């Protein structure tokens, strides 16, 4: 099995853990695209990232994960989550225009 870097630790582990760890490190008011997260952990499978978040139930290691900070590359939300996600983002000071977020402004590069 391939090992993936686990952000914030000095370890590697499963794809799932790497994804959740990465998401858990996205700062308040910043966002990342599914592709960014994948790339960040050394993968090229953005779809797999979504799968992990869906299965996570919103938490990792018993702690809540800021899944709402992950959107599509075009700054849109997943359809079934639109309301909740936009609401949470606005609460962090992220401006939402016409249901979209400006990636140019809020994208987080990993530090």
Residues 53-82 that bind DNA (CB under 7 A): 53-54, 56, 58, 67, 70, 72-74, 78, 80-81
> Is 110 near DNA (CB under 7 A)?
no
Nearest in space to 88 (alpha carbons), one of 29, 45, 13: 29
Q: Where are the alpha helices (DSSP H) in the chain?
A: 15-24, 34-40, 46-56, 82-91, 103-106
Nearer to DNA, 27 or 57 (CB): 57
Query: Token pair for residue 38?
Result: 């994948």
Which stretch in 5-13, 42-50, 88-96 sits in contact with DNA by CB under 7 A? 42-50
> Is residue 47 near DNA by the rule CB under 7 A?
yes
């Amino acid at each position: 099995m391939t090992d993936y870097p686990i952000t914030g630790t000095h370890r590697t582990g499963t794809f799932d853990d790497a994804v959740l760890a990465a998401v858990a490190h996205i700062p308040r008011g910043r966002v990342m695209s599914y592709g960014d997260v994948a790339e960040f952990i050394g993968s090229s499978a953005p779809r797999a990232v979504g799968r992990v978040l869906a299965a996570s139930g919103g938490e990792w290691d018993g702690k809540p994960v800021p899944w709402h900070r992950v959107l599509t590359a075009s700054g849109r939300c997943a359809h079934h989550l639109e309301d909740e996600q936009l609401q949470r983002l606005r609460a962090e000071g992220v401006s939402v225009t016409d249901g979209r977020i400006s990636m140019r402004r809020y994208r987080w590069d990993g530090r």
